[in-house]
């Protein structure tokens, strides 16, 4: 992927849904860094503290606070922005929350996708649309090999299943309204991301950060669950690459897995061991496995042969570097340092890494 750089995005009008979330905030920071004209549409930041505020994004982009389920408000923001590229990240993203409020999860993740695609369908400016889903869209057999893009879609829990539905909605719109190729339509399925600025509930790295802040040991709920972990910049840069390549040539539109290499599929316990090692100061963790926890897949990984073959893409940072970058960001935050500068530093390092 050494031929890909961010220069393409300079001056491009980009519409990002879910821009106040963890991934959305990093994505907007990259786009601002690249000189894009960014409009974001999202609910208020979902956590306190939150990366959107810490990253000083509001003053460098047009931020619209709104619900993706509100079709009229979304359309008004969309028509004002007149985007060329649309990156759809808005979602209810937490598995355990989807058990507590399944209807809201489906309304947001399914009808939200319908609403943004309706905006694209009625637009005369959009050339490239990317729907960001999840590795959990696949029917999970908990086998040892990775899922490919042509495997059956059937997520188990309401979150995963709603994202499977979001994929199917996208496929239908692509076939029904964009078959002539005037808008290139893709989806990207990424695994678990880590990085500085994630303060969500029920995620392991935020749990580590909260423990560090409180001066306590880290409680680990599922220490033996294997997950494909990657730094947040890995999928975000891949999304931007896909959106660019299909903008330039519609033949690249399709469905793409974006995940780490085999060596970065580690257990939660191994991940926390690495965090403790990078952090130092005697940080430790304890097993707090729950007996009656809601079902979450024990093992799930992606086969990323397609994106590697089509774009010569490959991950740049392995798990060790990803954790090191996460720890570095967290130390800047705890010391009340310059968060935008630290984010730009990491973006620059990532883009310059040619290995």
Taking only the tens place, the pLDDT of each residue in 106-152 is 999 999 999 999 999 999 999 999 999 999 999 988 777 889 999 99
Q: Is residue 152 part of a domain?
A: yes
Pairing of strands 255-258, 37-42: unpaired
Copy the structure tokens of residue 300. 């799930």
For tokens 């786009």, what's the residue? 31
Is residue 289 pLDDT above 90, yes or no?
Answer: no
- Per-residue confidence (pLDDT) for residue 225, from 0 to 100: 82
Mean pLDDT of 228-247: 96
**Cβ(208)–Cβ(250) below 8 Å:** no
Is residue 291 pLDDT above 90, yes or no?
Answer: no
Q: Which residue has the higher pLDDT, 302 or 184?
A: 184
pTM: 0.94
Mean pLDDT of 167-183: 97
**Cβ(185)–Cβ(174) below 8 Å:** yes
Q: Which residue has the higher pLDDT, 83 or 352?
A: 83
Q: Is residue 82 part of a domain?
A: yes
When the pLDDT of each residue in the chain is averaged and rounded to a whole number, the result is 93
Q: Is residue 163 part of a domain?
A: yes
Q: Tell me the helices (H) and strands (E) count for the chain, helix number first.
A: 13, 12
- Per-residue confidence (pLDDT) for residue 301, from 0 to 100: 81
Mean pLDDT of 167-196: 96
Q: Is residue 98 part of a domain?
A: yes
Question: pLDDT for 6-62, tens place per residue?
Answer: 999 999 999 999 999 999 999 999 999 999 999 999 999 989 999 999 999 999 999
| Confidence tier at 1 by pLDDT (50, 70, 90) | very low
End-to-end CA distance of the chain: 9
Residues 6+ apart with CB under 8 A from 149: 189, 254, 255, 256, 257, 306
- Per-residue confidence (pLDDT) for residue 354, from 0 to 100: 64
- CATH number of the domain within which 122 lies: 3.40.50.720
Mean pLDDT of 176-180: 97
Q: Which of 168, 158, 143 is nearest to 303 (CA)?
A: 143
Q: What are phi and psi of 217, to 5 degrees?
A: -75, 160
Domain of residue 114 covers 9-194+231-262+299-317+339-352
For tokens 């931020």, what's the residue? 63
Q: Is residue 217 part of a domain?
A: no
For tokens 């061991």, what's the residue? 273
Q: Is residue 294 part of a domain?
A: no
Q: Above pLDDT 70, what percent of the chain?
A: 96
- Per-residue confidence (pLDDT) for residue 37, from 0 to 100: 98
Q: Is residue 346 part of a domain?
A: yes
- Per-residue confidence (pLDDT) for residue 2, from 0 to 100: 44
Across the strands, what pairs with 226?
267, 299
Q: Which helix (H) or strand (E) holds 40?
A: strand 37-42
User: What is the number of structural domains in the chain?
Assistant: 1
Q: Above pLDDT 90, what percent of the chain?
A: 81
Is residue 297 pLDDT above 70, yes or no?
Answer: no
- Per-residue confidence (pLDDT) for residue 355, from 0 to 100: 57
Q: Cis ω on the peptide bond leading into residue 315 (within 30° of 0)?
A: no
- Per-residue confidence (pLDDT) for residue 22, from 0 to 100: 96
- Per-residue confidence (pLDDT) for residue 134, from 0 to 100: 93
Is residue 81 pLDDT above 50, yes or no?
Answer: yes
| Confidence tier at 288 by pLDDT (50, 70, 90) | confident
Is residue 299 pLDDT above 80, yes or no?
Answer: no
Is residue 294 pLDDT above 80, yes or no?
Answer: no
Q: Which residue has the higher pLDDT, 2 or 63?
A: 63
Fill in the DSSP letter of residue 156: S
How many other CB atoms sit within 10 Å of the CB of residue 324? Answer: 17
Mean pLDDT of 164-171: 98
**Cβ(309)–Cβ(170) below 8 Å:** no
Q: Is residue 344 part of a domain?
A: yes
Angstrom distances, CA of residue 261 to CA of 173, 215, 240, 317: 32, 33, 20, 10
Where is average pLDDT lowest: 209-213, 327-331, 334-338?
Answer: 209-213
Is residue 175 pLDDT above 80, yes or no?
Answer: yes
């Amino acid at each position: 992927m050494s031929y890909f750089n961010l220069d393409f995005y300079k001056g491009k009008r980009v519409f990002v849904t879910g821009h106040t979330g963890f991934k959305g905030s990093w994505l907007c920071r990259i786009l601002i860094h690249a000189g894009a004209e960014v409009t974001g549409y999202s609910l208020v930041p979902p956590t306190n503290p939150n990366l959107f505020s810490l990253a000083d994004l509001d003053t460098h982009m047009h931020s619209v606070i709104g619900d993706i389920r509100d079709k009229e408000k979304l359309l008004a923001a969309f028509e004002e922005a007149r985007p060329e590229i649309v990156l759809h990240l808005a979602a209810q993203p937490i598995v355990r929350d989807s058990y507590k409020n399944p209807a809201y999860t489906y309304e947001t993740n399914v009808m939200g996708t319908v609403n943004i695609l309706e905006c694209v369908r009625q637009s005369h400016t959009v050339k490239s649309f990317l729907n960001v889903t999840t590795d959990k869209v696949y029917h999970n057999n908990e086998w040892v090999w990775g899922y490919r893009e042509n495997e059956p879609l059937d997520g188990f829990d309401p979150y995963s299943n709603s994202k499977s539905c979001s994929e199917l909605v996208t496929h239908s719109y692509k076939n029904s309204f964009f078959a002539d190729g005037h808008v290139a339509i893709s989806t990207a399925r990424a695994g678990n991301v880590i990085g500085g600025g994630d303060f969500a509930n029920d995620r392991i790295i935020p749990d580590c950060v909260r423990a560090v802040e409180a001066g306590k040991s880290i409680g680990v709920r599922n220490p033996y669950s294997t997950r494909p972990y990657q730094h947040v910049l890995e999928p975000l840069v891949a999304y931007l690459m896909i959106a660019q390549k299909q903008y330039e040539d519609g033949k690249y539109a399709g469905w793409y897995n974006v995940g780490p290499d085999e060596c970065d599929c580690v257990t939660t316990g191994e991940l926390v061991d690495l965090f403790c090692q990078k952090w130092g100061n005697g940080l430790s963790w304890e097993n707090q496995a729950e007996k009656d926890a809601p079902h979450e897949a024990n093992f799930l990984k992606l086969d990323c042969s397609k994106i590697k073959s089509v774009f010569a893409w490959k991950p740049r940072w392995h798990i060790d570097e990803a954790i090191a970058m996460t720890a570095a960001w967290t130390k800047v935050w705890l010391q009340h340092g310059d968060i935008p500068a630290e984010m730009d530093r990491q973006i620059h390092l990532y883009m310059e890494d040619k290995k």
